[in-house]
Amino acid sequence: MTEHFRSLIQNSWDIILVLDADGTIRYVGPSIERILGYKPEDLINQNVFKLAEFYYPHKHTVFREIVNEALSSSNTSIVTECWLRHCDGSRRYFEVIGQNLLDQPSISGIVLNLHDITERKRVEKELSMALHTALEASRVKSQFLTMVSHEIRTPLTAIIGIAEVLKETPLTLEQQKYVNVLETAGNTLLILVNDILDFSKVESGTLSLDQVHFDIRELVEKAIAAAAVRAGEKGLTLTVEIMPDVPSGIMGDPGRLTQILLNILENAIKFTERGEVVLRIKNNPDAKDDEGLLFSISDTGIGISEEKLNTIFDSFTQVDSSIRRKYGGTGLGLAISSRLVNLMGGRMWVESTQGIGSTFYFTIKFGSPSMDDPYIIQGGKR
Ligand code: ADP
Protein backbone atom coordinates (compact mmCIF):
# COMPACT_ATOMS: atom_id res chain seq x y z
CA MET A 1 0.00 0.00 0.00
CA THR A 2 2.86 2.36 0.93
CA GLU A 3 4.63 1.52 -2.31
CA HIS A 4 1.44 2.03 -4.23
CA PHE A 5 1.00 5.42 -2.53
CA ARG A 6 4.62 6.42 -3.28
CA SER A 7 4.27 5.51 -6.92
CA LEU A 8 1.09 7.57 -7.18
CA ILE A 9 2.62 10.72 -5.69
CA GLN A 10 5.93 10.31 -7.49
CA ASN A 11 4.08 10.47 -10.77
CA SER A 12 1.74 13.25 -9.74
CA TRP A 13 1.67 16.52 -11.66
CA ASP A 14 0.99 18.36 -8.41
CA ILE A 15 3.46 19.06 -5.63
CA ILE A 16 2.81 16.57 -2.85
CA LEU A 17 4.28 17.11 0.60
CA VAL A 18 4.02 14.66 3.48
CA LEU A 19 4.69 16.23 6.89
CA ASP A 20 5.09 15.03 10.44
CA ALA A 21 2.83 16.34 13.13
CA ASP A 22 5.45 19.02 13.92
CA GLY A 23 5.59 20.14 10.28
CA THR A 24 8.84 18.39 9.29
CA ILE A 25 8.88 17.43 5.63
CA ARG A 26 9.17 13.67 5.32
CA TYR A 27 8.48 13.45 1.65
CA VAL A 28 8.21 15.84 -1.26
CA GLY A 29 7.22 14.68 -4.73
CA PRO A 30 9.69 15.06 -7.61
CA SER A 31 7.34 17.40 -9.46
CA ILE A 32 8.52 20.24 -7.19
CA GLU A 33 11.65 20.50 -9.33
CA ARG A 34 9.63 20.91 -12.52
CA ILE A 35 7.15 23.35 -10.96
CA LEU A 36 9.29 25.44 -8.58
CA GLY A 37 12.82 24.54 -9.62
CA TYR A 38 13.95 23.10 -6.24
CA LYS A 39 15.48 19.66 -5.70
CA PRO A 40 13.33 17.48 -3.38
CA GLU A 41 16.35 16.20 -1.44
CA ASP A 42 17.18 19.77 -0.37
CA LEU A 43 13.83 20.04 1.35
CA ILE A 44 13.63 16.71 3.19
CA ASN A 45 13.77 17.07 7.00
CA GLN A 46 13.26 20.80 6.79
CA ASN A 47 10.34 22.28 8.61
CA VAL A 48 7.52 23.21 6.29
CA PHE A 49 7.29 26.64 7.86
CA LYS A 50 10.88 27.32 6.87
CA LEU A 51 9.98 26.16 3.42
CA ALA A 52 7.04 28.49 3.52
CA GLU A 53 9.20 31.33 4.75
CA PHE A 54 11.72 30.55 2.12
CA TYR A 55 9.26 30.51 -0.77
CA TYR A 56 6.69 32.77 0.68
CA PRO A 57 8.59 35.38 2.61
CA HIS A 58 6.04 38.15 3.08
CA LYS A 59 2.85 36.36 3.96
CA HIS A 60 4.16 33.10 5.31
CA THR A 61 1.76 33.36 8.24
CA VAL A 62 -1.07 32.59 5.85
CA PHE A 63 0.69 29.48 4.70
CA ARG A 64 1.44 28.57 8.31
CA GLU A 65 -2.27 28.93 9.11
CA ILE A 66 -3.16 26.57 6.31
CA VAL A 67 -0.76 23.94 7.55
CA ASN A 68 -1.71 24.47 11.18
CA GLU A 69 -5.33 23.98 10.29
CA ALA A 70 -4.48 20.73 8.54
CA LEU A 71 -2.39 19.69 11.52
CA SER A 72 -4.97 20.53 14.13
CA SER A 73 -7.32 17.54 14.06
CA SER A 74 -7.32 14.14 12.49
CA ASN A 75 -9.24 13.31 9.34
CA THR A 76 -9.82 16.93 8.45
CA SER A 77 -9.19 18.41 5.05
CA ILE A 78 -8.81 21.99 3.89
CA VAL A 79 -8.95 23.59 0.47
CA THR A 80 -7.42 27.01 -0.08
CA GLU A 81 -5.11 28.98 -2.36
CA CYS A 82 -1.67 30.45 -1.87
CA TRP A 83 1.36 31.56 -3.82
CA LEU A 84 4.92 30.38 -3.59
CA ARG A 85 8.04 31.75 -5.19
CA HIS A 86 9.77 29.85 -7.99
CA CYS A 87 13.57 29.61 -7.65
CA ASP A 88 13.82 32.09 -10.54
CA GLY A 89 11.98 34.59 -8.35
CA SER A 90 8.62 34.51 -10.16
CA ARG A 91 5.32 33.89 -8.39
CA ARG A 92 3.34 30.67 -8.82
CA TYR A 93 -0.24 30.30 -7.59
CA PHE A 94 -1.43 27.08 -6.02
CA GLU A 95 -4.64 25.49 -4.94
CA VAL A 96 -3.84 23.72 -1.67
CA ILE A 97 -5.62 20.65 -0.46
CA GLY A 98 -4.46 19.61 2.98
CA GLN A 99 -5.45 16.31 4.54
CA ASN A 100 -4.61 15.15 8.04
CA LEU A 101 -3.94 11.42 7.79
CA LEU A 102 -1.87 11.06 10.98
CA ASP A 103 -4.23 8.34 12.23
CA GLN A 104 -3.77 6.20 9.18
CA PRO A 105 -1.03 3.62 9.56
CA SER A 106 -0.36 3.35 5.84
CA ILE A 107 0.43 7.02 5.34
CA SER A 108 0.53 8.66 8.77
CA GLY A 109 1.21 12.28 8.04
CA ILE A 110 -0.18 15.55 6.88
CA VAL A 111 -0.53 15.41 3.13
CA LEU A 112 -0.48 18.71 1.26
CA ASN A 113 -1.40 18.64 -2.40
CA LEU A 114 -0.35 21.85 -4.19
CA HIS A 115 -1.93 22.19 -7.61
CA ASP A 116 -0.36 24.84 -9.86
CA ILE A 117 -3.12 27.26 -10.96
CA THR A 118 -0.86 30.06 -12.18
CA GLU A 119 -2.16 29.83 -15.75
CA ARG A 120 -5.79 29.75 -14.59
CA LYS A 121 -5.18 32.82 -12.42
CA ARG A 122 -3.61 34.64 -15.36
CA VAL A 123 -6.61 33.87 -17.61
CA GLU A 124 -9.04 34.82 -14.81
CA LYS A 125 -7.26 38.16 -14.40
CA GLU A 126 -7.29 38.80 -18.14
CA LEU A 127 -10.98 37.88 -18.36
CA SER A 128 -11.88 40.09 -15.45
CA MET A 129 -9.94 42.99 -17.01
CA ALA A 130 -11.64 42.35 -20.38
CA LEU A 131 -15.04 42.24 -18.68
CA HIS A 132 -14.29 45.47 -16.85
CA THR A 133 -13.22 47.16 -20.12
CA ALA A 134 -16.31 45.86 -21.95
CA LEU A 135 -18.66 47.01 -19.17
CA GLU A 136 -17.01 50.41 -19.10
CA ALA A 137 -17.26 50.72 -22.91
CA SER A 138 -20.91 49.71 -22.77
CA ARG A 139 -21.60 52.25 -20.02
CA VAL A 140 -19.93 55.02 -22.00
CA LYS A 141 -21.90 54.00 -25.12
CA SER A 142 -25.18 54.09 -23.19
CA GLN A 143 -24.30 57.46 -21.70
CA PHE A 144 -23.47 58.78 -25.17
CA LEU A 145 -26.75 57.46 -26.57
CA THR A 146 -28.71 59.04 -23.73
CA MET A 147 -27.00 62.38 -24.25
CA VAL A 148 -27.38 62.39 -28.04
CA SER A 149 -31.04 61.32 -27.87
CA HIS A 150 -31.76 64.12 -25.41
CA GLU A 151 -29.98 66.66 -27.60
CA ILE A 152 -31.85 65.53 -30.73
CA ARG A 153 -35.23 65.54 -29.02
CA THR A 154 -35.24 69.24 -28.22
CA PRO A 155 -34.83 70.64 -31.78
CA LEU A 156 -36.98 67.81 -33.15
CA THR A 157 -39.90 68.79 -30.94
CA ALA A 158 -39.52 72.34 -32.26
CA ILE A 159 -39.54 71.11 -35.89
CA ILE A 160 -42.71 69.03 -35.31
CA GLY A 161 -44.34 71.94 -33.45
CA ILE A 162 -43.58 74.38 -36.27
CA ALA A 163 -44.90 71.89 -38.86
CA GLU A 164 -48.18 71.73 -36.89
CA VAL A 165 -48.40 75.54 -36.75
CA LEU A 166 -47.57 75.79 -40.45
CA LYS A 167 -50.42 73.38 -41.26
CA GLU A 168 -52.89 75.87 -39.80
CA THR A 169 -51.75 78.67 -42.15
CA PRO A 170 -53.07 79.15 -45.72
CA LEU A 171 -51.03 76.77 -47.91
CA THR A 172 -51.19 75.61 -51.51
CA LEU A 173 -51.94 71.90 -52.03
CA GLU A 174 -48.30 71.25 -52.82
CA GLN A 175 -47.14 73.05 -49.68
CA GLN A 176 -49.64 71.02 -47.58
CA LYS A 177 -48.13 67.84 -49.00
CA TYR A 178 -44.63 68.98 -48.01
CA VAL A 179 -45.70 69.94 -44.50
CA ASN A 180 -47.42 66.56 -44.04
CA VAL A 181 -44.22 64.76 -45.06
CA LEU A 182 -42.28 66.96 -42.64
CA GLU A 183 -44.67 66.19 -39.78
CA THR A 184 -44.79 62.42 -40.43
CA ALA A 185 -41.00 62.17 -40.77
CA GLY A 186 -40.55 64.26 -37.62
CA ASN A 187 -42.91 62.01 -35.62
CA THR A 188 -41.20 58.83 -36.87
CA LEU A 189 -37.85 60.25 -35.85
CA LEU A 190 -39.23 61.24 -32.45
CA ILE A 191 -40.47 57.67 -31.83
CA LEU A 192 -37.03 56.34 -32.78
CA VAL A 193 -35.22 58.82 -30.55
CA ASN A 194 -37.56 58.03 -27.64
CA ASP A 195 -36.96 54.31 -28.17
CA ILE A 196 -33.18 54.79 -28.23
CA LEU A 197 -33.39 56.91 -25.10
CA ASP A 198 -35.46 54.27 -23.30
CA PHE A 199 -33.22 51.48 -24.47
CA SER A 200 -30.01 53.22 -23.39
CA LYS A 201 -31.57 54.02 -20.01
CA VAL A 202 -32.53 50.37 -19.48
CA GLU A 203 -29.08 49.19 -20.63
CA SER A 204 -27.20 51.61 -18.39
CA GLY A 205 -29.45 50.80 -15.44
CA THR A 206 -30.58 54.42 -15.07
CA LEU A 207 -34.25 53.83 -15.81
CA SER A 208 -36.33 54.21 -12.68
CA LEU A 209 -39.82 52.85 -12.34
CA ASP A 210 -42.76 54.57 -10.67
CA GLN A 211 -44.52 52.77 -7.87
CA VAL A 212 -48.03 54.23 -7.73
CA HIS A 213 -51.59 53.05 -7.08
CA PHE A 214 -53.65 52.70 -10.27
CA ASP A 215 -56.64 50.87 -11.72
CA ILE A 216 -55.59 48.32 -14.31
CA ARG A 217 -59.03 48.18 -16.01
CA GLU A 218 -58.99 51.93 -16.51
CA LEU A 219 -55.44 51.79 -17.88
CA VAL A 220 -56.32 49.02 -20.34
CA GLU A 221 -59.41 50.89 -21.49
CA LYS A 222 -57.31 53.95 -22.34
CA ALA A 223 -54.52 51.98 -24.00
CA ILE A 224 -56.96 49.98 -26.08
CA ALA A 225 -58.80 53.10 -27.31
CA ALA A 226 -55.80 54.18 -29.39
CA ALA A 227 -55.13 50.67 -30.69
CA ALA A 228 -58.82 50.11 -31.51
CA VAL A 229 -58.78 52.88 -34.11
CA ARG A 230 -55.90 51.20 -35.97
CA ALA A 231 -57.58 47.77 -35.66
CA GLY A 232 -60.87 49.23 -36.95
CA GLU A 233 -59.12 50.77 -39.97
CA LYS A 234 -57.78 47.30 -40.88
CA GLY A 235 -61.13 45.58 -40.23
CA LEU A 236 -59.75 43.55 -37.30
CA THR A 237 -61.64 42.61 -34.15
CA LEU A 238 -59.91 43.78 -30.99
CA THR A 239 -61.10 42.05 -27.81
CA VAL A 240 -60.07 42.45 -24.17
CA GLU A 241 -60.72 39.80 -21.51
CA ILE A 242 -59.81 40.64 -17.93
CA MET A 243 -60.59 37.82 -15.49
CA PRO A 244 -62.78 38.87 -12.56
CA ASP A 245 -60.14 37.83 -9.97
CA VAL A 246 -57.66 40.41 -11.34
CA PRO A 247 -57.56 43.12 -8.66
CA SER A 248 -58.42 46.58 -9.96
CA GLY A 249 -56.21 48.62 -7.65
CA ILE A 250 -52.54 47.67 -7.98
CA MET A 251 -49.15 49.28 -7.34
CA GLY A 252 -46.71 49.68 -10.18
CA ASP A 253 -45.66 51.88 -13.09
CA PRO A 254 -48.76 52.60 -15.21
CA GLY A 255 -46.82 54.61 -17.84
CA ARG A 256 -44.39 51.80 -18.55
CA LEU A 257 -47.18 49.17 -18.50
CA THR A 258 -49.07 51.23 -21.10
CA GLN A 259 -45.89 51.44 -23.20
CA ILE A 260 -45.44 47.64 -23.15
CA LEU A 261 -49.11 46.94 -23.88
CA LEU A 262 -49.22 49.44 -26.76
CA ASN A 263 -46.03 48.11 -28.29
CA ILE A 264 -47.28 44.52 -28.34
CA LEU A 265 -50.82 45.46 -29.37
CA GLU A 266 -49.56 47.71 -32.17
CA ASN A 267 -47.28 44.93 -33.42
CA ALA A 268 -50.18 42.46 -33.31
CA ILE A 269 -52.34 44.83 -35.36
CA LYS A 270 -49.47 45.75 -37.70
CA PHE A 271 -48.64 42.12 -38.54
CA THR A 272 -52.27 40.90 -38.90
CA GLU A 273 -54.20 41.38 -42.13
CA ARG A 274 -57.43 39.65 -41.13
CA GLY A 275 -58.97 38.07 -38.08
CA GLU A 276 -58.59 39.23 -34.50
CA VAL A 277 -56.34 40.47 -31.75
CA VAL A 278 -57.18 39.44 -28.19
CA LEU A 279 -55.69 40.83 -24.99
CA ARG A 280 -56.19 38.60 -21.95
CA ILE A 281 -55.21 39.41 -18.37
CA LYS A 282 -55.40 36.97 -15.48
CA ASN A 283 -53.68 36.19 -12.22
CA ASN A 284 -50.40 34.46 -12.97
CA PRO A 285 -51.01 30.82 -11.98
CA ASP A 286 -47.23 30.31 -11.53
CA ALA A 287 -46.70 33.27 -9.15
CA LYS A 288 -46.09 32.32 -5.53
CA ASP A 289 -48.18 35.18 -4.18
CA ASP A 290 -51.25 36.82 -5.66
CA GLU A 291 -49.39 39.90 -6.91
CA GLY A 292 -48.38 38.49 -10.28
CA LEU A 293 -50.44 39.06 -13.43
CA LEU A 294 -50.18 37.17 -16.70
CA PHE A 295 -50.86 39.14 -19.88
CA SER A 296 -51.28 37.53 -23.30
CA ILE A 297 -51.82 39.19 -26.66
CA SER A 298 -52.87 36.81 -29.45
CA ASP A 299 -53.21 37.61 -33.12
CA THR A 300 -54.11 35.77 -36.30
CA GLY A 301 -51.31 37.42 -38.28
CA ILE A 302 -48.27 36.42 -40.30
CA GLY A 303 -46.55 34.62 -37.39
CA ILE A 304 -42.81 34.26 -36.80
CA SER A 305 -40.62 31.41 -38.03
CA GLU A 306 -39.13 29.11 -35.40
CA GLU A 307 -35.52 30.16 -35.99
CA LYS A 308 -36.38 33.86 -35.58
CA LEU A 309 -38.32 33.36 -32.35
CA ASN A 310 -35.14 33.40 -30.26
CA THR A 311 -33.83 36.68 -31.61
CA ILE A 312 -36.85 38.97 -31.79
CA PHE A 313 -36.24 40.23 -28.23
CA ASP A 314 -32.72 41.37 -29.20
CA SER A 315 -32.19 45.06 -29.97
CA PHE A 316 -32.54 46.29 -33.55
CA THR A 317 -33.87 42.89 -34.65
CA GLN A 318 -36.53 42.48 -37.25
CA VAL A 319 -37.40 39.13 -38.75
CA ASP A 320 -35.95 40.20 -42.10
CA SER A 321 -35.29 43.34 -44.11
CA SER A 322 -38.54 42.97 -46.09
CA ILE A 323 -40.42 43.50 -42.77
CA ARG A 324 -38.76 46.89 -42.44
CA ARG A 325 -39.63 47.86 -45.99
CA LYS A 326 -43.24 46.71 -45.68
CA TYR A 327 -44.12 47.54 -42.07
CA GLY A 328 -41.48 50.09 -40.96
CA GLY A 329 -40.37 50.02 -37.31
CA THR A 330 -36.97 49.98 -35.65
CA GLY A 331 -36.69 46.54 -34.08
CA LEU A 332 -36.31 48.15 -30.65
CA GLY A 333 -39.87 47.84 -29.32
CA LEU A 334 -39.68 44.23 -28.11
CA ALA A 335 -36.14 44.68 -26.77
CA ILE A 336 -37.33 47.60 -24.63
CA SER A 337 -40.60 45.93 -23.60
CA SER A 338 -38.98 42.67 -22.54
CA ARG A 339 -36.34 44.53 -20.52
CA LEU A 340 -39.02 46.69 -18.87
CA VAL A 341 -40.93 43.52 -17.98
CA ASN A 342 -37.73 42.07 -16.43
CA LEU A 343 -37.29 45.27 -14.42
CA MET A 344 -40.85 44.79 -13.16
CA GLY A 345 -39.97 41.32 -11.88
CA GLY A 346 -41.48 39.39 -14.77
CA ARG A 347 -40.57 37.83 -18.10
CA MET A 348 -41.76 37.93 -21.69
CA TRP A 349 -41.97 35.11 -24.21
CA VAL A 350 -43.74 34.30 -27.45
CA GLU A 351 -45.40 31.33 -29.11
CA SER A 352 -45.99 31.59 -32.83
CA THR A 353 -46.79 29.60 -35.96
CA GLN A 354 -46.01 31.10 -39.33
CA GLY A 355 -49.15 31.91 -41.27
CA ILE A 356 -51.41 31.16 -38.27
CA GLY A 357 -50.54 33.83 -35.70
CA SER A 358 -48.60 34.70 -32.56
CA THR A 359 -49.22 35.00 -28.84
CA PHE A 360 -46.96 37.23 -26.78
CA TYR A 361 -47.02 36.53 -23.03
CA PHE A 362 -45.61 38.55 -20.19
CA THR A 363 -45.84 38.45 -16.43
CA ILE A 364 -45.42 41.39 -14.07
CA LYS A 365 -45.28 41.48 -10.30
CA PHE A 366 -47.39 44.30 -8.89
CA GLY A 367 -47.67 45.39 -5.31
CA SER A 368 -50.92 45.67 -3.36
CA PRO A 369 -51.78 49.26 -2.47
CA SER A 370 -52.16 50.21 1.16
CA MET A 371 -54.73 52.66 2.49
CA ASP A 372 -52.15 55.50 2.37
CA ASP A 373 -51.23 55.11 -1.31
CA PRO A 374 -52.93 57.85 -3.34
CA TYR A 375 -54.87 56.58 -6.33
CA ILE A 376 -53.48 57.86 -9.66
CA ILE A 377 -56.18 58.37 -12.27
CA GLN A 378 -54.05 59.43 -15.23
CA GLY A 379 -52.07 56.59 -16.77
CA GLY A 380 -48.62 57.81 -15.71
CA LYS A 381 -45.82 59.45 -17.63
CA ARG A 382 -43.08 58.38 -20.04
P1 ADP B 1 -40.53 46.80 -34.74
O2 ADP B 1 -41.95 46.39 -34.65
O3 ADP B 1 -40.30 48.25 -34.46
O4 ADP B 1 -39.84 46.33 -35.98
P5 ADP B 1 -40.19 45.10 -32.48
O6 ADP B 1 -39.03 44.89 -31.59
O7 ADP B 1 -41.45 45.56 -31.86
O8 ADP B 1 -39.71 46.10 -33.59
O9 ADP B 1 -40.46 43.77 -33.27
C10 ADP B 1 -39.35 43.06 -33.82
C11 ADP B 1 -39.79 42.15 -34.94
O12 ADP B 1 -40.53 41.04 -34.42
C13 ADP B 1 -40.73 42.81 -35.93
O14 ADP B 1 -40.02 43.57 -36.91
C15 ADP B 1 -41.42 41.59 -36.54
O16 ADP B 1 -40.58 41.01 -37.51
C17 ADP B 1 -41.51 40.63 -35.36
N18 ADP B 1 -42.84 40.69 -34.70
C19 ADP B 1 -43.16 41.37 -33.57
N20 ADP B 1 -44.47 41.18 -33.25
C21 ADP B 1 -44.98 40.37 -34.18
C22 ADP B 1 -46.28 39.80 -34.41
N23 ADP B 1 -47.31 40.03 -33.57
N24 ADP B 1 -46.44 39.01 -35.51
C25 ADP B 1 -45.41 38.75 -36.34
N26 ADP B 1 -44.15 39.26 -36.19
C27 ADP B 1 -43.93 40.05 -35.13
The tens-digit pLDDT sequence of the chain (382 residues) is: 467 766 776 778 899 888 887 778 888 889 999 888 889 998 899 887 766 544 444 555 556 666 676 667 666 777 777 777 788 888 888 888 888 877 777 667 788 889 999 999 999 999 999 999 998 888 888 788 888 888 898 899 999 999 999 999 999 999 999 999 999 999 989 988 888 888 888 877 778 888 898 999 999 998 898 789 889 999 999 999 999 989 888 889 999 999 999 999 999 999 999 999 999 999 887 766 556 899 999 999 999 998 888 888 887 666 566 666 566 666 788 999 999 999 999 999 999 999 999 999 999 988 777 766 666 554 433 3
Q: Angle, to 10 degrees, between the axis of helix 173-204 and the axis of helix 118-167?
A: 150
* Ligand 1 pocket member 25 (CB < 6 A): no
User: What is the bridge-based pairing of β-strands 357-365 and 292-299?
Assistant: antiparallel
Output the DSSP codes for 46-63. Answer: SBHHHHHHHH--SSHHHH
pTM equals: 0.64
SS3 292: strand
Pocket test for ligand 1, best of 334, 350, 353 (most atoms within 8 A of CB): 334
Closest Cα to atom 8 of ligand 1: 331
Helix/strand/coil (H/E/C) assignment for every residue in 20-43? CCCCEEEEECCHHHHHHCCCHHHC
Partners of 239 in the β-ladder = 278
Pocket test for ligand 1, best of 263, 279, 318, 321 (most atoms within 8 A of CB): 318
* Ligand 1 pocket member 293 (CB < 6 A): no
Amino acid at 102: L
